[in-house]
Amino acid sequence: MFWDGIFHFFCMLVVLAGIILMWKLLSRKDIDRAGKLFGGGLLLGWGLFNIVEGLIDHQILKLHNVIEFSTDHNTGNFIFLGVSVMMLIIGYVLVNRKHQHP
């Protein structure tokens, strides 16, 4: 669990850096503030994080499972990865759809 904490701490630093960069960009007038672009970006980031975390912590290192009190840990872990892939795809579609319609 120590390395899981290190991983989450690193991810928190990346999120804080992203918030600071986004805050600085809000003063510019040429920035697209569309909800689809923002929401799609959030889904892309969240889905990618969950895939990396799910593969490393659940599958490779087996540090913990999504549902600890289940007899079959793989079912919850694979559902978690499946939902994460869906989030990634939906986020990608939202971000690209925004650029197709000016």
Domain region containing 37: 2-100
Q: Tell me: the pLDDT tens digits for 27-71?
A: 888 877 777 888 898 999 999 999 998 999 889 988 888 888 888
Domains in the chain: how many in total? 1
Read off the tokens for 49: 């994080």
Angle CA 79–48–84, to nearest 5: 20
Cα atoms found within 13 Å of the Cα of residue 30, Cβ hemisphere only: 0
**Backbone angles phi and psi of 56, in degrees to 5:** -75, -55
Determine the 3-state secondary structure of 82 from DSSP: helix
Q: Tell me: the pLDDT tens digits for 69-93?
A: 888 889 999 999 999 999 999 999 9
pTM assigned to the model:
0.73
